[in-house]
Amino acid sequence: MKTLHGRHALKASSHFQLGQTRKLPDLQHEKWAYLAGLICFRWLISLPCAALLLFSAISANATTLKLTTWNLEWLTAKPAGDPELPQDVTPKRAEDVASLARYAERVASDVIAIQEVDGPEIAARVFPPDRYVIHMTRDRVVQRVGLVVRRGIDFVVNPDLVALVPAPEARHPLRSGADITLHMPGGFLRILAVHLKSGCREEPLSRSSRPSCEMLRQQVPALQGWIAQRREEGVPFVIMGDFNRWMDGRDQMLAALRQSAPLARATEGFSSPCWGGGGFIDHILAGGAAAAWMRPDTLRVTMYRESGAGWKERLSDHCAVSVNFEIPG
């Protein structure tokens, strides 16, 4: 298991302004096109040369889309002692929310799956409305799920995946999935943001008698069905969020999801450096054509400069996890 550090840690980029759609470097495309043309001219082989030139044209028109998942841990404007908040939850200070906004600017992502956010108003204090459009689920809970999309990217909102809430009338119901479809120059990309049941990170789902594992087990068919529908439609898709599950080795949950369609996992083979390190529970899964678009070598974890348990509670116990996709034009 490799830990993300050094070159794998996210570094602030000075090459692009926040919110821009990033293209592959033109110089790289010109070099590839020149080499392809040189090979075709020298060897005079029509069919392979046509394939080379076609690949060059597709690569030159590709758009780099940065996707991120980030659990912001009880991001709410409710005051301490509010009956909707657990007694051990301390709402974030204004300066801490401002710090999160600075980290969001550093991440500079195109689409962010957010978790534990109490509505679009508080989310807008981290993701400015002049740069991002914020979509949240309709759940009546404090820890809602949402998707934040950079302005300039067209998308439509799909119905929430309410099947992820097996007991909606429970005192503390689980969370629906936020579902959107991006309209990219080369076609559609369906994105589902999730925040699954906590408390069952590694136990075998088929044998565990823990209530948390039972609830997580009940959420799996909803994800399987969603994946199967995307496969039937032939639509590229991504599922990202807080799965509250280590997915390494022979994880039964990941294996169950892969029964519905082949899935690529951005965090495959890595451990997280967030707050001292450990297994990833925040994941980005890609299926259909999107599995080939994902560039695992671009996996980044945004580390907090602050250290200590106090800062972990003030900011978030999760770090933003990002990866790039090269979308054909």
* pLDDT of res. 7: 34
> 99-119: per-residue pLDDT in tens?
999 999 999 999 999 999 999
Q: What is the per-residue burial (b if ≥16 Cβ within 10 Å, else e) of 312-329?
A: bbbbbebbbbbbbbbbbe
- Region 203-209 average pLDDT: 91
* pLDDT of res. 55: 44
**Extents of the domains making up the chain:** 24-58, 63-327
Contacts of 6 (CB under 8 A, 6+ apart): none
> 173-200: per-residue pLDDT in tens?
999 999 999 999 889 999 999 999 999 9
> 46-88: per-residue pLDDT in tens?
444 544 444 444 456 789 999 999 999 999 999 999 999 998 8
> 271-290: per-residue pLDDT in tens?
999 999 999 999 999 999 99
Q: C-alpha distances in angstroms, 168 versus 138, 141, 160? A: 12, 11, 13
Report the distance separating Cα 143 and Cα 65, nearest Å. Answer: 27
Task: Provide the percentage of residues in the chain whose pLDDT is more than 90.
Answer: 75
- Specify the CATH class of 63-327 in words: alpha beta
Contacts of 79 (CB under 8 A, 6+ apart): 91
Neighbours of 8 (CB within 10 A): 16
> 228-239: per-residue pLDDT in tens?
999 999 999 999
Position with higher pLDDT, 13 vs 202 = 202
Strands 294-301 and 177-184: unpaired
